Amino acid sequence: MLNLIPVPYKSEEKNGSFIIDGKLKISSDFDLPLLKLERADDGKLIIKKDSSLPDEGYTLDVKEDCINITSSTEKGAYYALQSLRQIGRYELGKREVPCCTVEDKPDFKWRGIHLDESRHFFGKEEVKRLLDMMFMMKLNVFHWHLTDDQGWRIEIKKYPLLTEVGSVRKYTQINGWHCIDTVDEVYGGFYTQDDIREIVSYASQRKITVVPEIDFPAHCASAISAYPWLACRELKREVPGYFGDAVPVRKFGIRDWNRTICLGKEEVINFVFDVIDEVCELFPAEYFHIGGDEAPKNEWKKCPRCQKVIKDNNLKTEDNLQVWFNNRVLEHIKAKGKRLIGWNEILKAGNLDKTVIAQYWTPQRDRNAERHANGGGNLIMSNHRSFYFDMPYGKYPLKYTYDYSPENYGVNKENIKNVLGVEGEVWTEWIDGREKLDMQIFPRMQALAEAAWSQPENKSWKSFCTRLDGFKPYYKLFGINYAVDSVSMPKNLLKRAFIKYKFINGDTHLEVKLNKKYKGEQ
């Protein structure tokens, strides 16, 4: 068995090995600028172009006297090299690459990781570090959540207050959803447009598409703090540092959390288009994520302007008002040659343009999402149970990610072709730094990679666990604080229940402490 994650489409280990030395040279039909090897016509690492292979597919043939790679694209060649990297383990001091043949291709087109930087901001170097590991795992989409209620993290030149005001909050909620504890410290940070370009370029070199998420029409409290006229009622509000209803209601006595923009003001619609225009200039991806989930409708119900739009356009409900808005945004996005993505709640009203991609996240079953996929619409699967990486392992153990199947969520077998792929979500309400960020993502990223890349018939939990053990030296090499097995694969049901309770009611870092303890015992 080759020590390789994700498991390839076909592979065979053979006798013998190729010896890597300091004289290894490459002969390649592709430029491959990330590969820092001397080129020579007689190089022993030989990469040939074969247009008959799938876009991301490759073959790898390790012999005692040479290594042969074929692919139809530079992307496929890089993926072959990532496989060779793991098989050879030369970064870990090995010099013998076992002879083998590998024929490989991905199961899903969309293999993604999402990072929320509104709740907590990590900066360019942390993002690059995440992209490097995604590249190693053949993951190809970085979904970048850059705006939400608790902070606006991307520079928009036409509206400078979005970052001058909207990126800074005076306090931050801690200790779980049901607690009202806060740390009263100024917290902020944002990416300049030059920063964004740098990250997009870095990702592109690693064949990763960066998809921006700019949330509309809800999750807009930080934007409204900067420009109160965006709301139905122009209430003066600071950027909130809380993540749910417990703090505003119980601590501050606020019951009218202003987080949804007014859809009855044309100047607000123009603001949305202006923001989209600047963002699209920065991201060449063919996708734009609008969010669209958890949109409170109370302000729209009381707003005469919103009600006039409903009446003038023969809309039945406020849900239809949101669809009217989404379809306007869709037309603006389509004119730029991009496709609109939104969380699956946007399907609720039922009259959304069918070209929209829905991202299915909700813990509860959503028949609208099922109908969308089974009726020909595209889905990205981010189901809470399998892919919410911010959740404790006590709630969602590692095996939940590995065992994912679209058929478990109402997508008929013949319509799995409408599922673009899968994505792990890293929401950061309770992730405040590298130590916890690493532990929540790793080894879930490795399980996600196999769920996304490998064909179902090739998957084996037992085999994965063995190969994961073989991969763990890379965590040490790269300084990654991964979750040890006793944390990521919990077996004690009482302990799991306790961890879930504490996560909501007082200690969101309990597993971090346990992880540190168990590592010390190893």
Are 154 and 144 in contact, with CB atoms under 8 Å apart? no
Please give the full DSSP string across 28-86, using - where no structure is assigned: ESS--TT----B-TT-SEEEEE-TTS-TT-EEEEE-SS-EEEEESSHHHHHHHHHHHHH
In angstroms, the CA 336 to CA 352 distance is 19
Closest CA to 197 of 155, 147, 145, 165: 155
Tell me the two tokens of residue 121.
């901001």
In angstroms, the CA 283 to CA 211 distance is 7
Catalytic residue among 114, 143, 219, 332: 219
CA 367 from chain center: how many Å? 24
Question: Which are the contacts of 462, defined by CB distance < 8 A and separation ≥ 6?
Answer: none
Catalytic residue among 148, 299, 390, 425: 148
Q: What is the 3-state secondary structure (H, E, C) of 216-271?
A: CCCCCHHHHHHCHHHECCCCCCCCCCCCCCHHHHHHCCCCCCCCCECCCCHHHHHH
Q: Is 289 annotated as catalytic?
A: no
286-306 burial, b at 16+ Cβ within 10 Å, e below that, comes to ebbbbbbbebebebbeebeeb
Tell me the two tokens of residue 311.
């009446």
Tell me the two tokens of residue 17.
């090995």
In angstroms, the CA 335 to CA 288 distance is 12
Measure Cα distances from 250 to 181, 230, 455, 515, 518 in Å. Answer: 11, 26, 49, 33, 37
In angstroms, the CA 49 to CA 436 distance is 42
In angstroms, the CA 5 to CA 21 distance is 25
Q: What is the DSSP letter of 483?
A: P
Please give the full DSSP string across 363-387, using - where no structure is assigned: SS--HHHHHHHHTT--EEE--HHHH
SS3 352: coil
248 cis-preceded (ω within 30 degrees of 0): no
Q: Is 148 annotated as catalytic?
A: yes
In angstroms, the CA 299 to CA 306 distance is 9
Tell me the two tokens of residue 92.
């870990």
Catalytic residue among 96, 294, 353, 407: 294
SS3 198: helix
Q: Is 294 annotated as catalytic?
A: yes
Tell me the two tokens of residue 330.
């869709």
In angstroms, the CA 119 to CA 390 distance is 12
Catalytic amino acids? Answer: 148, 219, 294
